Amino acid sequence: MVTRALPYRPHNHQACVNQALDDARHICQQHNARLTPTRQRVLELIWQSHRPLGAYDVLAQLAAEGQNAAPPTVYRALDFLQQHGLVHRIASLNAFVGCAHPGKPHTGMFLICHQCGNVLELSAPAVSEAVRAAADRESFRTDEVTLEISGVCPRCQAEPADD
Amino acid sequence: MVTRALPYRPHNHQACVNQALDDARHICQQHNARLTPTRQRVLELIWQSHRPLGAYDVLAQLAAEGQNAAPPTVYRALDFLQQHGLVHRIASLNAFVGCAHPGKPHTGMFLICHQCGNVLELSAPAVSEAVRAAADRESFRTDEVTLEISGVCPRCQAEPADD
DNA sequence: GAAAAATTTGAAATACTATAACATTTTCAG
DNA sequence: CTGAAAATGTTATAGTATTTCAAATTTTTC
Ligand SMILES: [Zn+2]
Ligand SMILES: [Zn+2]
Ligand SMILES: [Zn+2]
Ligand SMILES: [Zn+2]
């Protein structure tokens, strides 16, 4: 298992980006999918930090770079990246974040710090198991799980809390 | 504990509505909050079924009844109802559903059938516990949990599945 | 009960998020 | 090369939510 940096701790983030791009190239090759320049650029923009980015934020940055971009440009790229498990959509924020465990099957659980905005994606088998069990008990067939925890990360808890 | 009807089974739904209104009156009294006519009407509209309703659906129905209503009218009422734990927002649907356990503290877990659209709100202590434990392990302070399961309810699994 | 304060509602505009529809270009297999 | 498939460009529009300021209503205080 690859150890990943904690989003809210200072770290060599360029390593995160490089890893994400490597993973993406790998996965797209496996899937016979094309990581076109736009798709790759959107992925890079999403990975510029561990904070979820809105589609229109991505759009603004693409436009600033002189790219001919309209909303569908971004949404298509994001759809593609989601489909191949490279980014996740955070429903409670209407925003997108890079997947921390691409390739591995996982049901994401997101710890969202509403102070610093960073998101940590956990894979918590015990939680997934409990969710599955609860759904089973109702004879409910689970297709997708949205699990987003909003709160305060350790780093922000320690800080003076300016607001 | 009060037993509630299962959303996707035929039941005397008027009882659900009456219960919800009774609960609302009770809770608002306890909170020294005013269940004004608009707020009550919005709650009734939300409770017209166990399917989440979009804010603009509520708006359309209010308008059809001749009420002078604009988007803020509805969003204000929904905010109020959420604040007092009478309705929940389903982030993955941008829609609102009546709370099945008003008054009792609970972290909702929603089983959303994407075939019939009905939502069952579970209180699953084992899941809540697992979520809390996973967050604790990361020293993350949990404020809000969004847990939405999309899938197929027992009734729709049994049916021929027309689509 | 009247005046002041607080809460709620009305109304218009606007911001933000996402998709539809169709034309054009690029890629790739045969 | 050529035709089919995939990806992108472009314009318009749909859907969701908030900002702002004014007016009305309810509650509190005197
Ligand atoms: Zn990083
Ligand atoms: Zn933080
Ligand atoms: Zn019912
Ligand atoms: Zn169903």
Model confidence pLDDT, tens digit, residues B116-140 = 999 999 999 999 999 999 999 999 9
Cα end-to-end distance, chain A, whole Å: 38
pLDDT of B163 higher than 60: no
Amino acid at A40: Q
CATH class held by domain B13-158: mainly alpha
User: Counting ligands in written order, which one lies closest to the CA of residue A152?
Assistant: 2
Hunting for tokens 């939405």 — which residue is that? Answer: B148
Q: What is the pLDDT of residues A80-92, one digit of tens each?
A: 999 999 999 999 9
Instruction: Please give the pLDDT value at position B160.
Output: 65
Task: Work out the minimum CA distance from B44 to partner chain A, whole angstroms.
Answer: 25
- Closest alpha carbon within chain A to B126: A130
Hunting for tokens 């579970």 — which residue is that? Answer: B122
pLDDT band at residue B161 under the 50/70/90 scheme? low
Q: Tokens standing for B1?
A: 């504990």
Q: Tokens standing for A73?
A: 């440009």
Hunting for tokens 């204000």 — which residue is that? Answer: B76
The mean of the pLDDT values for chain B is 93
* Contact flag B152-A141 (C-beta cutoff 8 Å): yes
User: Counting ligands in written order, which one lies closest to the CA of residue A8?
Assistant: 2
Give the contacts of B39 (CB within 8 A, at least 6 positions apart): B77, B80, B81
Q: Do residues A144 and B112 lie in contact, with contact meaning Cβ atoms separated by under 8 Å?
A: no
Ligand 3 centroid vs B123 CA: distance in angstroms? 17
Instruction: Please give the pLDDT value at position A1.
Output: 58
Instruction: Please give the pLDDT value at position A163.
Output: 45
Q: Cα(B98)–Cα(B108) distance, rounded to whole angstroms?
A: 11
Cα end-to-end distance, chain B, whole Å: 38
Give the contacts of B103 (CB within 8 A, at least 6 positions apart): B23, B26, B27, B85
Ligand 4 centroid vs B149 CA: distance in angstroms? 13
Domain positions in chain A: 13-158
Cross-strand partners of B88: B97
Q: Cα(A65)–Cα(B136) distance, rounded to whole angstroms?
A: 41
Q: Tokens standing for B45?
A: 């509209």
Instruction: Please give the pLDDT value at position B2.
Output: 62
Side-chain-side CA neighbours of residue A117 (13 Å): 10
A18 phi, psi to nearest 5 deg: -60, -45
Label the pairing between strands A109-113 and A141-152: parallel
Give the contacts of B107 (CB within 8 A, at least 6 positions apart): B123, B128, B131, B145, B147
